[in-house]
Every structure is written in structure tokens, then in C-alpha cells.
Amino acid sequence: MLDAAEIRIGARVLLGPGVHLYTTTHPIDPIERASGLQLAAPIRIGDDCWIGGQTVIMPGVSIGARSVIGAGSVVTRDIAADTVASGNPCRVLRSLK
């Protein structure tokens, strides 16, 4: 975990081996990046989620309750509750409801 901002993990969440949670990033502009500026945004994982092994969750992402993220995914955008998502970049595969 790289936690320059809050990481909130709900109840009964299952994290597979090697899951990475990154709250920090840097500017795209090379001049700003050279200044050493870092940006941070919180990560939130809702109750009863299952995050597959070797998944990377990027800054500012929220994963809704009861969702499943497939192993090896790179999550760059919010995932709604009751959703199965997987891939690089992570994409919604189906709803659980």
C-alpha cells in the first residue's frame, strides 16, 4: 500500500496475494513532474468485495460493495456495487443483480 491519502477497506473484504493499492501519482507535464510534485487521492473498497491477486487499484478509485475484481486487473475508474469487473484496464463484465 502506498498511502499518501486515505485507504478505506470495508468489512469482510477479501484481498488476494500481491494486491497493490496506490493513492499517489504525479503530473503528466514533465516540468511539473520535475518539480517533485506528487498528487494523492483516496481509495475506497466497499463491504464484501473480493479483489483477485496481483490487482492494482489506482488513486481515487472507489469499488462498490459486493463487487468482484478479477486477478491481475488494473482498476483506473470507479466500479459500481454488485459488479464483476476484470482486465487491464479493468472493465465491467456483468452485474451481480
Positions annotated as catalytic residues are 26
The DSSP output letter for 79 is B
Distance separating alpha carbons of residues 22 and 94, to the nearest angstrom: 25
The enclosing H or E element of 34 equals helix 30-34
Peptide bond into 59 cis (omega under 30): no
